[in-house]
Amino acid sequence: MTDPVTLRTSDVVLDPYDYDFHEDPYPYYKRLRDEAPLYHNEQLGFWALSRHQDVREGFRNSTSLSNRDGVSLDPVSRGPHASKTMSFLAMDDPAHLRLRTLVSKGFTPRRIRELEPRVTELAIKHLDAMLEKAGGETVDYVADFAGKLPMDVISELMGVPEPDRDQIRAMADGVMHREDGVTDVPQSAIEASLNLIIYYQQMVAERRKKPTEDLTSALLEAEIDGDRLTDDEVLGFMFLMVIAGNETTTKLLANAAFWGYKNPDQLAGVYQDLSKVPLWVEETLRYDTSSQILARTVAGELTLYDTTVPEGDVLLLLPGSAHRDERVFDEPDRYLIGRDIGSNLLSFGSGAHFCLGAHLARMEARVALAELFKRIRGYEVDEANSVRVHSSNVRGFAHLPMTLEVA
C-alpha cells in the first residue's frame, strides 16, 4: 500500500452512530475510499479501512489485528469480557480455535441440512399469517415475517419451547436497538442481554440434567480428547447466535425485499424462475450487507498508507464499503442479480474468523424468499413509512410496510 492519502487531505466524517449515516452510508464510503482509505476519527477513537483489498486483508490479518476485545465499536461491549456474549468471535488463537472446533462438533453442516424442512414449515406458518392480514391491507414485512423467522429458527435449533419464542425474540430485539446520538449500549439493551442470558442459563441447567436432541445438548456433549465446553462457553455461543445469526438474517430478508422492489427489472426473472433466489440473496449481501462494520484491536506493529496505527487502537473494517469498491466490482452501485461476485463477498468475513453460520443464513434466506414468491405475484413497499434500524454496525429495517398481491 503506497497511496499516502489519509484524513489529512479530507474533511469526510464517518460517525457510525449518526442517523443520517444509517439512512445511506454509501456516499460516505465512496469519499473514504477515494480521499481517506485509512481514516482516523479522533473524537470517537477509531481508525477505519474502506477499500476492498484492505478490508479483506484486515479480516485475514489475525496477527496485527486482534479480536480479543470483540468486534463492536460500542465501549460497553469492548474489552476482555466481550467473549461472554460474542463467544469465539471475541478471541484470538489458540483460544479461538479450541472453542470454534468444539462448537463445530455440535453446529454441523449436517444439522443445518436436516433443519431445512423445519425452516420451510416455519416460513410457511409465518407467511400464511402475514398473507391472511394482507387482503388489501398493509403488512409490516419485518414484524410479520422477516423479524420472526430467523429467531424462531435459532430457537428451534437450540430447543427453546414454542410458547417462549415471542418473549425471546423481543429480548433479542432489545439487545440491538440504539437511540439517536447514543454512542454506547443503552441501559435497556443491557437489561435485555441479562434477561436473555438468565433464560439460557436455565435452559443449559435443564439440558445438563436431561439431554435432548437439540443444539444446546449437542454443545454440552461436544468433546475432543476429554476437553468439553463449559456452561459459560455454551452460553456465549448461544448469545452469539442471537446477535450474529438472528439480526443479520432478519436484515438480509428485508434488504432483499426492499432492493428487489426498487429494481423490478432485476426481480422479474426471479418470479419466473425461483432457482434464481440464491443469486438474489448473494447480490443483496453484496449491495447492502447486514453487517457493515466490524472492529478489531491493533496488536503490535501496523503500518498502512505510510501511517503507523498505534498498538491498542480500534480499527474498523467496512465490508459495506468494500462491496461498493469500483476497483473490484463493475458498476458497484447497480443492483444486479446474477452478477459474478465469486470470492469477493465479505459479508461473512474472511480467514480464520469466517462466519460459522454462513450456510445457515443462506439457507434461511433462500427458503424464506422462495416460499414468499410461491405465494405472491407482486408487492409494493411503503417507502415513506419504512423505518431503518439504528445500530453502529448492522444495517437494515426496523419496519418495512408493504402491500402484497397474493397469487
Question: What is the rounded distance in angstroms from the CA atom of residue 84 to the CA atom of residue 368?
Answer: 31
Task: Provide the pairing of β-strand 397-399 with 387-388.
Answer: antiparallel
Instruction: Enter the pTM of the model.
Output: 0.92
Phi, psi of 304 (to 5 degrees): -135, 135
Backbone dihedral region of 70: left (phi > 0), alpha (psi from -120 to 50 degrees) or beta?
left
Flag whether pLDDT at 372 surpasses 90: yes
Question: What is the rounded distance in angstroms from the CA atom of residue 176 to the CA atom of residue 188?
Answer: 10
Q: How confident is the model at residue 89 (pLDDT cuts 50, 70, 90)?
A: very high
What's the whole-number mean pLDDT along residues 369-375?
Answer: 96
pLDDT at residue number 298: 97
∠ CA 386-19-79, nearest 5°, is 120
Q: Tens digit of pLDDT for each residue in 110-152? A: 999 999 999 999 999 999 999 988 777 899 999 999 999 999 9
Q: Tens digit of pLDDT for each residue in 49-79? A: 999 999 999 999 999 999 999 999 988 889 9
pLDDT at residue number 7: 42
pLDDT at residue number 84: 84
Q: Tens digit of pLDDT for each residue in 178-215? A: 555 555 566 777 888 889 999 999 999 999 999 999 99
What's the whole-number mean pLDDT along residues 379-398?
Answer: 91
pLDDT at residue number 178: 58
Flag whether pLDDT at 94 surpasses 70: yes
Crossing angle for the helix pair 109-133 and 149-158, nearest 10 degrees? 140
Q: What is the architecture, at CATH level 2, of domain 7-406?
A: Orthogonal Bundle (1.10)
Domain range annotation of the chain? 7-406
Q: What is the four-CA torsion angle of 25, 29, 35, 37, rounded to 10 degrees?
A: 140
Task: Kindly report the three-state secondary structure assignment for every residue of the chain.
Answer: CCCCCEHHHCCCCCCCCCHHHHHCCHHHHHHHHHHCCEEEECCCCEEEECCHHHHHHHHHCCCCEECCCCCCCCHHHCCHHHHHHHHHHHCCCCHHHHHHHHHHHHCCHHHHHHHHHHHHHHHHHHHHHHHHHCCCCCEEHHHHHHCCHHHHHHHHHHCCCHHHHHHHHHHHHHHHCCCCCCCCCCHHHHHHHHHHHHHHHHHHHHHHHCCCCCHHHHHHHCEECCEECCHHHHHHHHHHHHHHHHHHHHHHHHHHHHHHHHCHHHHHHHHHCHHHHHHHHHHHHHHCCCECCEEEEECCCCEECCEECCCCCEEEECHHHHCCCCCCCCCCCCCCCCCCCHHHCCCCCCHHHCCCCHHHHHHHHHHHHHHHHHHEEEEEECHHHCEECCCCCECCEEECEEEEEEC
